[in-house]
Chains A and B, each alone.
Chain A
Amino acid sequence: MPGFLFRRSLTLLLTLVAASFLVFSITEFSPSNVARETLGAYALPEQVHLLYEKLQLGDPLLVRYVRWAGVLLGLRKDPLDNPALGLAIHDPNGPRYLGNFGYSTLFRVPVNQIIWNRLGNTAMLAGIAFAIIVPLSMLLGILAGMRPGSFLDRALSVASITMTSMPEYAIGVILAAIFAVWLKVLPGTSPLVGGTGWPLPSQFVLPVAVLVLYDSGYVARMVRASMIDVLNRPFVRTAILKGLPRRRVILRHALRNAMIAPFTVILLQINWLIGGVVVTETVFAYPGFGRMLLQASLFGDIALIEAATLVALVIAMATQLLSDIGYWLLDPQART
């Protein structure tokens, strides 16, 4: 691996540390708030004050951040996981281990017991959507880019600008109104439990459709622009003038080069999808990561907000790194 990827990973790691500090400052900026949220709405001011003292929340933000990071890295015990506090917070993995995100006050379990399950559900939803978005938008983009100005090209362009003007929840509400309310062929909610009268696979259709509609047009237009650009390059003209059949020119010469630019775009869509699932999961009451983050935020579940944001950040950055590596593999010019 070249030095540039090593440097890039290092930069991303530093960015992650800085971003985690930003998350920590946003959620725990007001220390008395931390104590109050931990104890819940019915705590007496004396109790809040006592916990404030016990957790040393009066210390500077940076000191508290280092402590928090220490708990996360398994270097310190979680101060809340202490029978002497009488909060009944107990982690079966023990108070000190690597990846200790603390205790969720909303779900009343350690964060690790809830977050990975929800992330799995979201991965399933986003995975299905992604498996449809990529081939569909590539196909549409390539076909449109081969003949700019054709009917397909114009249709794609109109559909794309319309869909990108629609927020995910608008698409969700419209689809639910048509297919769940009017035609009654699909369930309007996707809680992923049996007994709703709808088989589990049918519960995926509408959420996946929202993500696909929201994203495909955009990616397709990126592929289209790149395809047009490559087809106008001299080496394609040479290939045509050599007398190669058009199919061979497009499949062997143009496609690989046309995929370089959209590759980055497609991977960065994962970052975009993370935001998209927050809204989509909320529309369909899907038990996923995004809805969990929203619930935690509305409830004031500090440990869960921090954990979820951090996980989202790691995913976003991992895709950035992946797109860098992929770019390096796809484009020989980048390997200098």
Chain B
Amino acid sequence: MRPTPLRAPSDLAAGATIGVEEIATARPSLLKRLPSSGVAMTGLGIILFWAILALIAPLLPLPSPTAQDYLAIAHPGPGLHHLLGVDPLGRDTLSRLVWGARVVLVVAPLSVLVAYIVGATMGLLAGFYPGFVDAVISRTSDVILAFPVVVLYVVLIAAVGASALNIVVAVVLASAPAVSRIVRGLAMQLVRQDFVAAAHLRRETALFIMAIEILPNCRGPLITDFCLRLGYTVITIGTLGFLGLGIPPPSPDWGGMVQEATPMLTVFPEMALFPVIALVSLVLGFNLLADGLNELSRAD
């Protein structure tokens, strides 16, 4: 049977049940068996493509992503000087795509990582201390999860101003409660297991049990969710850029590029289509990787 569909990371948070038995017996070689999944490898390939381009961006023979070529504005389409054409301000599209990959591939993983550190801590505490601690953490999460996500992002970024740091903060605030819910659910099942009882008997500290005994056993579903959330965060960063709330200009931002090119859509549609293709391909990469990993972890 194929895996159940996953879209927004909140699916897992919404209570998709993951049997603890599956997790507890998961072999540690999930990443080693990755090459056996064509879907996952395709996804990984797309991600690596962008990652390598982003890494070697300064070495590529490209114009600066902020340099304006005024002569090219008259004929902004793809050509010899500018392989993918220029944007309405005469800046090289290919160069902005490559440098934009740098921005998104730093901001997205960073914000998801911080969201995971915060969310996993919250979830572990809530799962380990049922009662008051759990109630406080869970009710707080409920409040944030009650918001339509895009509305929360718009209101937050509009209030604190658009910057890379504020986007990270907003993603953490919006995603940490969802991560916390997943970890809490897993932790609540795991604390009843024998190996946790054994750790209690050995008089291990609570911190040791949470970090060494429980957390590593949550990794199966978390790895999948991490990839899905990465893809979703790439969408979010792009959406904020498109709405005019993203990383401020002139720094190259894929969503912002689409926004700047949309008024020219009737004349030069490719101006908007190139950044759209870049963004969709990267998100697709993360989603394929997540799908493949999900399939592998279910095969255990």
Residues of A within 8 A of B (CB): 11, 15-16, 18-19, 22-23, 26-27, 29, 148, 157, 160-162, 164-170, 173-174, 176-177, 180-182, 188, 218, 221-222, 224-225, 228, 268, 271-272, 274-276, 278-279, 282-283, 293-294, 297-298, 300, 305, 308-309, 312-313, 316-317, 320
Contacts and interface: CB of A to CB of B under 8 A. Distances in A.
B148 A312 contact: yes
Given A15-B142, A297-B155, A309-B155, A166 B283 contact: yes
A275 B150 contact: yes
A19 B266 contact: no
Interface stretch (B2-10, B53-61, B196-204): B2-10
A19 B154 contact: no
B188 interface: no
A312 B235 CA distance: 21
A161 B157 CA distance: 29
Interface string B254-293: 0100100010011001001100100110011001100100
B288 A161 contact: yes
Contacts of A26: 155-156, 159
Given A169-B242, A188-B266, A29 B287 contact: no
A148 B151 contact: no
Given A173-B258, A298-B244, A167 B266 contact: no
Determine the main DSSP class of B at the interface with A. Answer: helix
A22 B141 CA distance: 12
Contact of A170 (B7, B139, B280): B280
A309 B272 CA distance: 30
Given A15-B142, A27-B159, A272-B148, A173 B273 contact: yes
Contacts of A148: 1-2
Given A225-B5, A282-B242, A297-B158, A275 B151 contact: yes
24 contacts: A11-B142, A19-B147, A22-B144, A26-B156, A148-B2, A161-B284, A165-B231, A165-B280, A166-B283, A167-B242, A168-B239, A170-B276, A173-B273, A174-B273, A174-B276, A218-B7, A222-B5, A275-B150, A278-B150, A283-B262, A297-B154, A297-B155, A298-B245, A312-B148
Contacts of A18: 139, 143
Contacts of B276: 170, 173-174
A305 B149 CA distance: 15
A188 B262 CA distance: 11
Contacts of A19: 143, 146-147
Given A225-B5, A272-B8, 20 more contacts: A15-B139, A18-B139, A165-B280, A165-B284, A167-B239, A173-B258, A173-B265, A181-B269, A225-B4, A274-B151, A275-B149, A278-B150, A279-B243, A283-B262, A293-B154, A294-B154, A294-B243, A294-B244, A316-B148, A320-B146
B221 interface: no
B127 interface: no
A15 B139 CA distance: 8
Nearest to B14: A268
Contact of A180 (B14, B266, B279, B291): B266
B90 interface: no
Nearest to A172: B262
Contacts of A316: 146-148
- List of 3 A-B pairs having minimum Cβ-Cβ separation, nearest first: A275-B150, A221-B5, A297-B158
Given A173-B272, A177-B273, A300 B150 contact: no
Nearest to B277: A170
A11 B277 CA distance: 43
Given A162-B284, A164-B7, A222-B5, A16 B146 contact: yes
B155 A305 contact: yes
